[in-house]
Amino acid sequence: MQKNKVKYPGKRITTDGNTIVSATEALIVDAGVFYPITPSTQMGENFQLLYAKGELNAFGKALTAIETEGEHAAQGGAIALSVTGQRVVNFTSGQGVIYGLEQYYHAPGKLSTMVLEVGARALTKHALNVHCGHDDVYATLDTGWIVLFSKNAQQAADQAIILRKVTEKALNPGLNAQDGFLTTHLERTFRMPEAALVREFLGAPDDIIESPTDAQKILFGPTRRRVPRGIDLENPMLLGPVQNQEHYMNGIAARRNNFAEGIADFLRDSYKEYGELTGRHYGMISEYNCENAKVVFVALGSAAENIEAAVDHIKETRGEDVGVIHINSLRPFPEKEIIEALRGKEEVIVLERTDEPLSGSNPLTREIKLALRKAESNFRRTAYEGLGKINPETEKPHVLSGSYGLGSRDFRPEHVIGAYDFAEGRLARQDGKTINDGVRFFYLGIDHPYNVVAEETPSGLPKDSIAVRFHSIGGWGMITTGKNLGSILGDLSSYVAKRDELYEDTGELKEVVNLSANPKYGSEKKGAPTNYFLVAAPERVRVNCDLRHVNVVLCSDPKIFLHTNPLDGLEKGGAFIWESAEDSPEKVWTRIPKKYRQEII
């Protein structure tokens, strides 16, 4: 048995984003206060299950689970409980974030240390959608909360721990987001953080620690409880008073230099410490293939890994380097790191799961442009201390902005390639305009005058992958079957690695089978067509889109050909397994439309 080269490598587990994040929070917290809403419902359900089973947190304390009557009550209750010295978590999404939004603004001023776990979801606009969008997270950016975003479930679990450390140092609440469905429901093999890691990295909530800032020394003295008790009958603190003209602005301004401005360095230090303990390094931003790239994508969430797979294809087929930056911290925004990463690039393509047509630019695009403008000002004179400078003539990139994936609209490799070719002037939007016509905005994945898409349609999957697409009807159990098959393959990978003593360079067991499995269904669910996608590969699977390059199609819907072509994208020599209601092969064959029979032959 090979010894791990890091102290806390994590325990191998095949699961989804909701489960690993809620299980991690159950190691950390004293209490969860929540209300179920898709796609974060499973986080609360799993936390409630752990409570019901009598599971203890990493410090040997029993959990408390409180399901309230609504998201507003959940957020208010979580904040209230957090100022009594308890570690608290809430789980929510989409409209649940907005319903509780009124509560967010007062939490930083009350020194709450709670964490809100979000499965990012599109907000109801012209229509209801329960799938992925970043509108809900963007809506919180002016509330004073720390806001982190994860590109996969491993990072979401790790950042739950990292964020908690920072909230308790800074005495400021935080939000930890992952993509709804695309990450919350995506099943892969991850590393579940150890209880011992939580104990060492965080410490117990009732530990007495040195007050980390001068302002906190004034409030608490040289030491304080790690999670302060603001509501304490023996030593009460004044929280949430009424203030008039003479005082209110003083409190707002005092938070800037005494609390808010130190958060970024707390985050940098915590990311570094966590990386040293686990071998999983993040930082304020994550960069991929950026060193020699002249064009760089910037994105949030699961899209970043999809883009990584596509830029690898571009490099392999064209010999052109394209970079990818994932923003790990939205608040505080990492201006310093962004300036250093983008200096000298030619184009920056910012992709966002939102659309704000009445604004000058979409939210992340605005932040990127502002950071670059500050660096340009610093080139002329020192206008913004602590930030680098960029020569506007030779080092400042052009910024393009694209909207994609709203409501989990499929985001595919050809969209990434199309955005890149548009930035390079090789491809026009549907309306015929190119970057040379003075346009910098585009859509991906829809039929629209501003849409761009490449003709090239690679799968983005690793070589020698086996891709399986399931077709079924909601309520028939196919999604559960797919999840179970994914878990079995994950366990098989671990078994073979142990049996054959296969290890990575880090000392961890090798991933013999890299798994990626996720469902696709609408909000109507039961009785409607559903899909499940599963990939088993020799390397990590990074794309997360509808599979149109498949080796196997498993179909339990006897009426499939009446509404769908299940053969779409099936590779030559692939297998189509159909559960039909007919009692003979001859009758089955007659149920297949003639044009598809020819395709099978």
CATH code for the domain in which residue 557 is found: 3.40.920.10
**pLDDT score of 474 more than 70:** yes
Average pLDDT, whole number, for the chain?
Answer: 95
User: What pLDDT does 236 receive?
Assistant: 84
Provide the CATH number for the domain around residue 51.
3.40.50.970
User: What pLDDT does 232 receive?
Assistant: 87
Which residue among 248, 274, 300 closes a domain? Answer: 274
CA angle 599, 600, 601 (to 5 degrees): 90
Residue 47 forms part of a structural domain: yes
Residue 412 forms part of a structural domain: yes
- Do 269 and 298 sit in the same domain of this protein? no
- Do 529 and 396 sit in the same domain of this protein? no
pTM across the whole model? 0.96
Residue 254 forms part of a structural domain: no
- Do 430 and 571 sit in the same domain of this protein? no
- Do 421 and 548 sit in the same domain of this protein? no
Residue-wise pLDDT tens digits, 538-579: 999 999 999 999 999 999 998 999 899 999 999 999 999 999
Residue 580 forms part of a structural domain: yes
pLDDT-based confidence at residue 524 (cuts at 50, 70, 90): low
- Do 537 and 394 sit in the same domain of this protein? no
Least confident of 361-365, 512-516, 580-584: 580-584
Residue 147 forms part of a structural domain: yes
Residue 448 forms part of a structural domain: no
d(CA 196, CA 23): 14
- Do 408 and 474 sit in the same domain of this protein? no
The upper half-sphere exposure of residue 86, i.e. CA atoms within 13 Å in the direction of its Cβ, equals 22
- Label the pairing between strands 529-537 and 514-520: antiparallel
- Do 498 and 408 sit in the same domain of this protein? no
Provide the CATH number for the domain around residue 372.
3.40.50.920
User: What pLDDT does 384 receive?
Assistant: 97
**pLDDT score of 452 more than 70:** yes
Return the number of other C-beta atoms located less than 10 Å from residue 525's C-beta.
Answer: 15
Least confident of 46-55, 389-398, 457-466, 497-506: 497-506
Which residue among 233, 250, 274 closes a domain? Answer: 274
- Do 150 and 29 sit in the same domain of this protein? yes
Residue-wise pLDDT tens digits, 309-344: 999 999 999 999 999 999 999 999 999 999 999 999
**How many domains does the chain contain in total?**
3
Q: What are 577's two structure tokens?
A: 């397994």
Residue 475 forms part of a structural domain: yes
Which residue among 274, 302, 330 closes a domain? Answer: 274
Q: Where are the alpha helices (DSSP H) in 392-504?
A: 413-423, 478-500
User: What pLDDT does 2 receive?
Assistant: 62
User: What pLDDT does 56 receive?
Assistant: 98
**pLDDT score of 582 more than 90:** no
- Do 293 and 381 sit in the same domain of this protein? yes
Output the CA–CA distances (angstroms, integers) from residue 374 to 130, 181, 260, 393, 479, in the order listed.
38, 36, 20, 15, 49
**pLDDT score of 1 more than 60:** no
- Expressed as residue numbers, the domain containing 500 is 466-600
Residue-wise pLDDT tens digits, 214-234: 999 999 999 999 999 999 888
Residue 542 forms part of a structural domain: yes
